[in-house]
Amino acid sequence: MEKRFLAFCLTVALVIGFPFSAMAGPDAIHIGATVSQTGHFSSEVGPFKRLMTSWADLVNDQGGIMVEEYGKKLPVKFTIYDDKSDQATAKKYYERLATVDKVDMMLGPYSSPLTLAASTAGENHHIPFIAVCANSPKIYSRGFKWLVGVIDLGPRYTYRYWEMIKTEGKAKSVAFVVEDTIHPLGVFKGSQKLAEDAELKVLSSDIVPANTRDFTPIITKLKKESPDIVYVSSNIPFAINFMKQAKEMKLNPNEYHCIHHSGIFKDALGSAAEYVIGQSYWVEGMKLGDTQLINDVLKKADISEPRYPWSPAYVAAFQILQKAIENAGTLDKGKVVQSLKNLKMETVLGEARFAETGYGSINTYPSQIQGGVYKVIYPPDVATGKHTYPRPPWE
Higher pLDDT, 188 or 15: 188
List of residues 6+ apart from 111 with CB closer than 8 A: 36, 41, 44, 85, 133, 134, 183
What's the per-residue H, E or C state across 93-159?
HHHHHHHCCCCCEEECCCCHHHHHHHHHHHHHHCCCEEECCCCCHHHHCCCCCCEEECECCHHHCCH
What separation in angstroms does the CA of 366 have from each of 89, 128, 274, 290, 389? 33, 31, 14, 20, 13
- At 236-250, the pLDDT tens digits run 999 999 999 999 999
Residue 85, φ and ψ in degrees, nearest 5: 60, 30
pLDDT of residue 309: 93
- Domains of the chain, residue spans: 29-154+309-363, 158-258+261-284+366-376
**Helix or strand holding residue 81 (H, E):** strand 76-82
- At 349-358, the pLDDT tens digits run 999 999 999 9
Higher pLDDT, 288 or 272: 272
Which amino acid would we find at residue 52?
M
pLDDT of residue 10: 44
- At 195-207, the pLDDT tens digits run 999 999 999 999 9
Is it true that 29-154+309-363 and 158-258+261-284+366-376 share their CATH fold?
A: yes
**8 pLDDT band (50/70/90 cuts)?**
very low
What separation in angstroms does the CA of 52 have from each of 59, 116, 136, 190? 11, 21, 23, 31
Q: What is the mean pLDDT of residues 368-380?
A: 97
pLDDT of residue 15: 40
The dotted CATH code for 29-154+309-363 is 3.40.50.2300
Q: What is the mean pLDDT of residues 324-331?
A: 98
Q: Report the distance separating Cα 144 and Cα 118, nearest Å.
A: 12
Q: Report the distance separating Cα 245 and Cα 67, nearest Å.
A: 55
- Considering only the top CATH level, what class is 158-258+261-284+366-376? alpha beta
Query: Percentage of the chain surpassing pLDDT 70?
Result: 94
**4 pLDDT band (50/70/90 cuts)?**
low
- Exposure string (b/e) for 65-81, b if CB count within 10 Å is 16 or more? bebeebeebbbbbbbbb
**144 close to 108: Cβ distance less than 8 angstroms:** no
pLDDT of residue 285: 92
